[in-house]
Copies of this chain bind each other. A is one copy, B any other.
Amino acid sequence: MRTLTVDLGDRSYPIYIGSGIRQQKALFDAAIHGKQVMIVTNDTVAPLYLDALVTLLGDDYQVATCVLPDGEKHKTLDTYGQIMSSLLAANHNRTTTIIALGGGVIGDMAGFAAATYQRGVNFIQVPTTLLSQVDSSVGGKTGVNHPLGKNMIGAFYQPQAVIIDTDSLATLPPRELSAGMAEVIKYGLICDAEFLAWLEQHMTELMALDTSLITEAIYRSCEAKAKVVAMDEREGGVRAILNLGHTFGHAIETEMGYGEWLHGEAVAAGMVLAVDLSWRMGNLEEADVSRAVAIIQRADLPVLPPAKMTKDSFMAHMLRDKKVLDGSLRLVLLQALGEAIVTSDINVDEFNACLDDAIEAAQQG
């Protein structure tokens, strides 16, 4: 098992990464402070892992469970309300601990529930997908979607601990493994050229879930994110580099309807757009673009937007996106592989050409 500390002053917390650690009761005991525990999960993860966790904790705690329907389309205010109802129906009080057992959707919703149940209760993340292990488990972003925008409702709220069991990746559908790998690749692209080279060397074994290599990849991804988040917990500045590809990606997700394209898939296509635009604006070599596209492809991820996306649909969603400040478009671009910047200094012609070419390529299949 490896341990990483996310350094946020009195909100610091440990991330444990290892094989089989969801059965190490001591990790939970250290992070639970009261007698009540509410495990929030979904109907895909529950049959796999819920009983074992209830059994592990059931002797020492009053354990209640809340099993939600699986899928991004259920990441709504209504589903969040169901968690609140479960907590109240079980008479849980302010000393309860909410455990999120599942992927990013479960983590975001359970985290938002923890942030807002009786104005804040204890919270543990047990992320079961690669995406949630390397992304939402670090940084404290919680929330739900709104029909008019993704993650528009939420709070910054840090967990007490994150317990990442790499064994849970074995049950993950291949498409979701790829989606998670998109974020792993992102860390290489935005802040760690050496890690990017390491990924190029090991992508085949990583996609085959080599235990030791995947533990390393998760550790380095969490470490990269933790460093950025520690500098900027509430996303006032540098943290925005974590959104490489996300402004394009959110437009894709919103236009397609949540859940049609996985978040990581949309981000992958979005990262290619951002890398391409960086090259068009003179920041990258053509060979850099090829390397970025190649590693994304090796993770079985899309490198073009969906064929149904139009220029208008991109623009409509990007202007509503929260990364647009006061109407002027800001994007994360690369200055080199491993070095991202946030800029509103976008060349409009190159921006249009970048989108037009990608849309045309996508439509030609």
Which residues of A approach B to under 8 Å, CB–CB? 34-35, 77, 80-81, 84-85, 88-89, 91, 93-95, 112, 115-120, 141, 143, 146, 148-149, 151-156, 234-235, 319-320, 322, 324-326
Bound-state CA distance A324–B96 (Å) is 12
Contact between B155 and A88, CB atoms less than 8 A apart = no
A221 CB to closest chain B CB (Å) equals 22
Q: Tell whether A116 pairs with B155 under 8 Å between CB atoms, given A77-B81, A91-B320.
A: yes
Give the residues in chain B near A81, CB-CB below 8 Å. Answer: 77
Contact between B117 and A153, CB atoms less than 8 A apart = yes
Contact between A148 and B94, CB atoms less than 8 A apart = no
Contact between A93 and B326, CB atoms less than 8 A apart = yes
Contact between B89 and A155, CB atoms less than 8 A apart = no
Contact between A94 and B143, CB atoms less than 8 A apart = no
Contact between A148 and B89, CB atoms less than 8 A apart = yes
Contact between A153 and B116, CB atoms less than 8 A apart = yes
Give the residues in chain B near A89, CB-CB below 8 Å. Answer: 148
Give the residues in chain B near A119, CB-CB below 8 Å. Answer: 141, 143, 154-156, 234-235
CB-CB nearest 9 A-B residue pairs:
A88-B148, A119-B154, A118-B322, A77-B81, A119-B156, A116-B155, A116-B153, A119-B155, A84-B153
Which of B77, B118, B146, B320 contacts A77 (CB under 8 A)? B77
Give the residues in chain B near A143, CB-CB below 8 Å. Answer: 116, 119
Give the residues in chain B near A91, CB-CB below 8 Å. Answer: 319-320
Give the residues in chain B near A322, CB-CB below 8 Å. Answer: 93-94, 118
Contact between B325 and A94, CB atoms less than 8 A apart = yes
Contact between B94 and A154, CB atoms less than 8 A apart = no
A222 CB to closest chain B CB (Å) equals 21
Give the residues in chain B near A324, CB-CB below 8 Å. Answer: 93
A34 CB to closest chain B CB (Å) equals 7
